[in-house]
Amino acid sequence: MSDEHFFKHPKLPFAECRYSTNSGRYYKPHMHKTFRLNCRIELAKKLLQKGFGLSQVALECGFFDQSHFHRHFKAITTVTPKEYQVNFIQ
């Protein structure tokens, strides 16, 4: 997937994630919210691996700002976005 693909179709990765793992079961609203957050974090990981800046990744993945992104990223991955990006490059 090219970089411009992410920016032209920002919701496409969510759709791919949702339909590739959906088993047809009913999900409660809080489970759906957590699932969508995990999809957004997975997209953020891909963009961080490509070397995009933290604020750009935060906005492209649908977070309000870099602080909002940082808080959710760390809660799910246990590392900060910058730590993830530095460790991935090494």
- Any idea where the domains of the chain sit in the sequence? 3-89
How high does pLDDT run on average in the chain?
78
CATH tag, 3-89: 1.10.10.60
**pLDDT score recorded for residue 20:** 42
pLDDT score for 25? 55
| pTM for this model (two decimals) | 0.67
Indicate the angle between helix axes 66-77 and 29-49, nearest 10 degrees: 100
Angle between helix axes 81-89 and 66-77 (nearest 10 degrees) is 70
Question: Which tens digits make up the pLDDT trace of 55-68?
Answer: 999 999 999 999 99
Stretch 10-18: mean pLDDT: 48
CB atoms near residue 59 (< 10 Å):
15
The whole-angstrom separation of Cα 2 and Cα 67 is 27
